[in-house]
Structure 1
Amino acid sequence: MSLNPGTDSISTDYLDLIERLPTHEREGQLFWKLRLRESRSQLRHLFANSRMRTSLVISLSIFFWIGLFVLFYLGFDFVVGQVGLPGATYHAQTVKFVFTLFFMSLQIMLIFSSGIILYGGLYASQETNHLLTMPVRDSRLVLYRFQESLFFSSWGFFLLASPMMIAYGIVVAAPWYYYVYLPWLMISFAYIPCVIGAICCLLLISRVPHLRRIVVGIIALVVVAIAYSSIWHTLDINDADLLGAAWFKQTFRRFEFTRGEWLPSTWLSNGLLEAAREQTQDPGDLPWFESGKYLIVLLSNALFLHVILLWVGGRIYRPSYYALNSRQARETHVHMAWIDRLTEKLLFFLPRETQLLIIKDIRLFRRDPVQWSQFIIFFGLLMLYFANIDRFRQHRQDISVLAWVNIVSFLNLAVVGLILSTFTTRFIYPLISLEGRRFWILGRLPIERDSILWGKFLFAACGSWLPCAGLVLASDVMLRVSMQVIIIHQFICLLLCIGLSGMAVGLGAIMPDFREQSPSKIAAGFGGTLNLVLSAIYILLTVLLTALPCHFYFMANESRLQTQMVPPANLQLWLSLGLVGVVILAAVVTIVPLKYGLRAFRKLEV
């Protein structure tokens, strides 16, 4: 029986082509060379065309790191002064409780962040679409995108954890090998939750490509429910005073699940504690050796999960990609959704084109599970916390409790502002950059460019004010603060929303990035980092300008103290000046970025 010569030649050519494909090692070297060339090109472009901008971002990041280091140093110095140096009875228990709770929280955030960023890199990237047409192994492509998600999701972890760990080492006078182990412990720890998030992302898209929004929403609600249970049991205290010795003992016992021996956060905490303590006179006591054991555990689990990621990616990535992008198109509806009709009625005072632009942004928000799932998780957790915060009062009205309530109310306001700054940086700042790829469509419409930018600003300001004002109001109601404080908090919340929105929209128009298609990478770039740092500074200044005069003014009224050093009239003047200063500051951070953003947006050529 003879073979078809044409078929035989095709099979031979195919086998020859397979043999000429690069090996796994060579393929990895090519991707690393590609990444290095892209990085050098971007750095060369930044230092050549944006030298001042780059220097400003680096300087602000260093300033932020130093500020965190000082805060952690003072905190650990206080803790060590109370529980003693490493080797004392309560030092290991106290510091381990802080470490495990801190790293457990960051571990969960890394899982979500890595999965979300990997989703954008693998399933919503034009570069990935191009690479899928090339003779590239699926596992190598997944690893290439995972390395990017690892970098962009873990830089915040290193920014927060490094000053904390260095400050602890200096306070307890840790030996030299503590600082040698530190970077390797942190890198191996960050790798584990990032791989878990990547694997969960691949499995989720593979199994439920058509129901991914519902599944993401269910996961977000489960996280909120678990956090609600933890907060409720932590604050459910009947016989113990809040922040007292019995409260700390109960809290220590209730968060015992964060110290499970199977958790990577526990391995990291134990490794750091072992490396930080001095060697005793016992010849068998080798702290560096014990810390090395935990490092080996972290590295081995990271490498094991790395192999699993390559295996899962090689088997299910391409089928999941095709299943996700080959969904049957749903029938289009000509009528507007109820939320769009409600938005149109609420914005009746705006021009018609601005209304349509805002409605478009609202539709994009609710159709993107990445955005509303993170919104539910963070704001849901804050609402659960505020719903139980009335326990700070303990049904007492003495001046010490009132002082604590006043301080906590402003701290809650600052927390709401800081979380809002992360959302404006992550979702509002990239809007102009993402709009630029479709700018030719908007350019053909009878819409002025200024209307586009004003639409983004109004969408961000109004959309952020409603949930933030509700959270702050819930906090004030549960704390039972006075009506004057509630009005001041609502006024500050409005100024924060306007200022953060103006800053994000203005800087996004001044420093657009039309080459990048992932909003998470745009937010993690130099412009997004600058926006985040400036937003944090603006929030801190705003809260400080009002918190200090409010605190002394209302405490003086509550205690009926007529001091000669600071009369009540001077305190009222101080409060008024603080409010005026906040208004001026909000006007500056809103008008200046928007002014230069409008100027840059008018000259934009895409």
Structure 2
Amino acid sequence: MSLALTESFADAHHEPRADRTTRALRWLRWRQLRNTMGALVADSRLRASMIVFCSAVFWAGLFLLFLGSFQFVASYIDLANTIVEYLFSMFFLSLLAMLLFSTGIIVYAALFHSREATYLLTTPASTDRIFAHKFAEAVGFSSWGFFLLGSPLLVAYGLSIKPPTAIGGGSGAPWAYYPLFLVYLAVFVLIPASLGAIVAIVVANIFPRREKSVLALATVSAIAAAAYVGVRLWTTPGEALTNDWLGSVLNRLAFCQHPLWPSRWMSAGLLASAKGEWSAAAYYLMILSSHAGLAYLAAAVLARDLYRRGYSRVQGGRSSRKRYGFLYMDAVFHRLFFYLPHPIRLLILKDLRTFLRDPTQWSQFLIFFGLLAFYFLNIPRLGYGAQSPYWRNLVSFLNLSVTALILSTFTSRFIFPLLSLEGRNFWTLGLLPLRRDQILWGKFAFSAGISLFSTEFLVVLSDLMLQMNPWMIVLHVGMIAVLCLGLSGISVGLGARLPNLRETDPSKIAAGFGGTFNLLVSLVFIFTIVTALAVPCHLYFVGQDNPEPARFILSRSGLRFWLTTAVLASLVVGAAATIIPLRIGIKAFNRMEF
């Protein structure tokens, strides 16, 4: 690929150098994309099918959720338009912040820590052209989730709206609204992406040795800002979902309506296009486009002047001095896990340090579970605790399922690649004064420890906010423990059976065949455990909620019998999901040649 790129730079000598560079980099990007898609279809059809299927299910679920939400909002006739406008502004403001973070991190890694950037800086390509090439790649990686989240929202709104120009009771936005909102999304993405690139270049030039500290400080600041907004919404006076309460909530969200926010231009333009007000829609689209172009121009000029200088500072600013920040944590860790052999504790501690030293890992873990905790704390404000036992039971199992699904994502993304990340140093594991099975048991203990600590807290918090019975809390605690042990065993065992020692990026390892297969097995395991325990509880509580006799209702004695059977079956399935993958992984690990 590098030889072909060099030849492309030498071709077409009659063209200006900038045009030749642009053509060569565009050709390179196209060939990389085509080869990646071809390899995906030819060699990883299971992964491709899973990606398409899961994306379609996720999109359809979001679409139905948003459609039902817009229908619910429509019941508040007086505030319907205002609510939608505020919701759109807050939604796009949140995505603006997330895209700023994600694109900034990806651009920083692509510009200053990738082999391709190192090679391109040695070619005749100008600095701004290299930046444009890596910037387009980063935007593609960071914005696909934005389109996956934004498109079902906007399609649902377009189908639920009733334009004032509709004749005869017709509903739905004009057909031109649907292709137009795709243009809005594409233009909107460039603003946070360009700002993120500017921040990445500035950090590389000013704080070449403190990029992780800057990221940690930015993450803490974002969490603090989100917590401040959440607390203000949580303490809104009045009864939830009443008109007075909604008015107070909108007053506290007035900051998202500031006329200088790009999210405000985005929401105003989309609402205008959905109503057929094309002049207003074009006006806001031109505002977005001009600011997107200006932001990218500023990023390109900054990259032209400071990229090479920042690259040199990042590469030359690495320090080899010892760090002592983890000494206190090490002492606490050894005291808490005193019952484990010392070598196993050292291996677990090594994995824990690796996890904590990578902000891209712990920040995602913190954000996902932090959002869940924030939602669980706000359950009383949503009125679920005052609902019937049937609805509280239903919501509790839904909360538990969401927690388990996020946990499966964590184990597939971070635990499954642990052995593969040893890479070229994999042979050192064979020289340790430990049996190989102890190495895997150590990684299992690391995964189960983190999982149990975080998920048990969330499940207990959810049940307390829902005012569940103590025996249901105990049932959910035991259920999540079985899920934690099973998911940890699946990820560690399959990670040892299907390692990828040639890849250093954990996200690519998790996206490979082994990672996809691991996620699929984890989802089947979660579905089996949750369904086995949720169905008897559902059939019992539906009878409590509806006094009229129904066909499928369990009595208290029937609930005891079927719930006991389900608990025993879940324990058997959980033990099998924990032990069988670990035995398969240990067997493969023992036979592996270093």
Band of TM-score, shorter chain: 0.7 to 0.9
Alignment-mate amino acid for residue 557 of structure 2: A
User: Could you tell me which amino acid in structure 2 is paired with residue 274 of structure 1?
Assistant: A
Indicate the residue corresponding to 1:138 in structure 2: 127
- 2:308 pairs with 1:318: yes
| Shift in Å, 1:362 | 0.9
8 Å CA contact retained: 1:271, 1:290: yes
Aligned partner of 1:29 in structure 2 is 23
Alignment CA distance shift 1:597-1:45 (3 Å)? farther
Query: How far off its partner does 1:494 sit?
Result: 2.1
Matched ranges for 1:300-449 at <5 A: 300-327=290-317, 329-332=319-322, 337-348=327-338, 350=340, 353-387=343-377, 389-391=379-381, 400=387, 405-442=392-429, 445=432
The verdict on how the C-alpha distance between 1:547 and 1:24 changes in structure 2, with shifts beyond 3 A counting, is farther
Letter of the 1:148 partner, please give it: E
Q: Partner of 1:290: helix, strand, or coil?
A: helix
- 1:40 and 2:40 matched: no
Counterpart-to-counterpart distance in 2, 1:190 and 1:530: 32
Name the amino acid aligned to 1:111.
Answer: L
CA-to-aligned-CA distance 1:125-145 (integer Å, 9 cap, x gap): 333333334444333333322
Could you tell me which residue of structure 2 aligns to residue 7 of structure 1? none
Q: 1:498 aligns with which of 476, 480, 485?
A: 485
- 2:539–2:554 Cα contact (<8 Å) kept: no
542-551 vs 289-298, which moves further: 542-551
The answer to whether structure 1 residue 247 and structure 2 residue 245 are counterparts is yes
State whether structure 2 residue 254 is matched by structure 1 residue 264: no
Please give the per-residue CA displacement for 1:162-200, whole angstroms capped at 9, x wherever unaligned.
223223323342211012202211111222222222222
> What amino acid is the match of 1:459?
F
Matched residue SS, 1:176: coil
- Matched position secondary structure for 2:387: helix
What is the rounded CA distance, in whole Å, between the counterparts of 2:141 and 2:84 in structure 1?
29
Of 102, 108, 120, 2:97 maps to 108
CA distance 1:257–1:336, shift in 2 (3 Å)? closer
> What is aligned with 2:8?
none
Distance in 1, Cα, partners of 2:72 & 2:473: 33
CA contact (8 A) 1:556 1:568 kept: no
Tell me the TM-score normalized by structure 2.
0.82
2:225 equivalent to 1:226: yes
C-alpha displacement at 1:595, in angstroms?
6.5
Over the aligned positions, Cα root-mean-square deviation in angstroms equals 3.9
Counterpart amino acid of residue 460 in structure 1: S
1:72 to 66, 82, 102: 66
AA aligned opposite 2:455: C
Q: Per the alignment, do residues 602 and 378 of structure 1 end up closer, same or farther by CA in structure 2, a change over 3 Å counting?
A: same
Aligned counterparts of 1:537 and 1:181: Cα–Cα separation in 2:
39
Give the deviation of 1:112 after TM superposition: 1.6
Aligned residue number for residue 558 of structure 2 = 570
Q: Check if 1:176 corresponds to 2:175.
A: yes
Distance apart, 1:485 and its partner CA: 2.6
- Contact 1:196/1:305 (<8 A) preserved: yes
Tell me by how many angstroms 1:484 deviates. 1.8
Q: State how far apart, in whole Å, the 1-side matches of 2:106 and 2:267 are.
A: 27
**C-alpha contact 1:403 1:555 (8 A) present in aligned 2:** yes
Alignment check: 8 A CA contact 1:553 1:572 kept: no
- Which position in structure 1 is the counterpart of 2:453? 466
1:192-211 superposed matches below 5 A? 192-211=191-210
Check 1:168–1:528 CA distance in 2 against 1; reply closer, same or farther (3 A cut): farther
CA shift in 2, pair 1:71/1:548, >3 Å: farther
Distance 1:55 1:211, change over 3 A: closer
Equivalents in 2 of 1:181, 1:603: separation in Å?
Answer: 58
Conserved? CA contact 2:423–2:504, under 8 Å? no
Deviation at 1:492, TM superposition (A): 2.8
Aligned to 2:153: 164
Q: CA 1:479/1:49 → structure 2, altered by over 3 Å: closer, same or farther?
A: closer
Equivalent-residue separation in structure 2 for 1:522 and 1:457 (angstroms)? 18
Aligned partners of 1:605, 1:29: CA distance in 2, in Å? 46
1:345 & 1:598 partners in 2: Cα distance?
A: 28
CA distance in 2, matches of 1:333, 1:99: 45
Identify which range, 334-343 or 178-187, moves more after superposition. 334-343
Pair 1:328–1:252, CA change in 2 (3 A): closer
Aligned counterpart in structure 2 of residue 129 of structure 1, from 118, 129, 132: 118
Q: Relative to structure 1, is the Cα distance of residues 347 and 319 closer, same or farther in structure 2, using a 3 angstrom cutoff?
A: same
8 A Cα contact 1:389 1:478, kept in partner: yes
2:410 alignment partner AA: F
Matched residues, number = 571
Length-normalised TM-score, structure 1: 0.80
Structure 1's unaligned 5+ residue stretches are: 1-18, 280-286
CA contact (8 A) 1:231 1:385 kept: no
Q: Higher mean Cα deviation, 21-30 or 587-596?
A: 587-596
- Show the 5 A alignment for 1:527-606: 543=530, 545-547=532-534, 549-550=536-537, 553=540, 565-580=553-568, 582-583=570-571, 586=574
Moved more, 66-75 or 108-117: 66-75
Alignment deviations for residues 38-74 of structure 1 (CA, whole Å, 9 cap, x no partner):
2222233233322344334323333333333333334
Q: 1:516 to 1:30 in 2, by over 3 A?
A: farther
Residue type of the partner of 1:37?
R
State the 1:23 CA deviation: 2.5
Name the SS of the counterpart of 1:431 in structure 2: coil
What is the DSSP-based 3-state SS (H/G/I as helix, E as strand, rest coil) of the residue aligned with 2:176?
A: helix
Q: Give CA deviations for 1:247-304 in whole Å, capped at 9, x if unaligned.
A: 2221122112223332222222222222222x5xxxxxxx233222222222222221
Is the contact between residue 392 and residue 401 of structure 1 (CA under 8 Å) also seen in structure 2?
Answer: no
Structure 1 residues 385-442: Cα deviation after superposition (integer angstroms, max 9, x where no partner): 5455444569xx8x63666655554444344334434433443344344332433444
Overall identity of the aligned pairs, in %? 40
Residue 14 of structure 1 is matched in structure 2 by: none
Q: Partners of 1:101 and 1:588 in 2: how far apart?
A: 45
> In terms of mean alpha carbon deviation, does 493-502 or 294-303 score higher?
493-502
> Equivalents in 2 of 1:465, 1:582: separation in Å?
17
SS in structure 2 at match of 1:294:
helix
2: CA distance, partners of 1:449 / 1:23: 57
What is the one-letter code of the residue matched to 1:572?
R
Counterpart Cα distance in 1 of 2:16 and 2:340: 59
SS class of match (1:209): coil
Is 2:536–2:554's contact at 8 Å kept on the other side of the alignment?
Answer: no
How far, CA to CA, are the matches of 2:378 and 2:46 in structure 1? 46
Q: Distance in 1 between matches of 2:484 and 2:264?
A: 38
Distance 1:604 1:149 in 2: 37
1:50 pairs, out of 41, 44, 57, with: 44
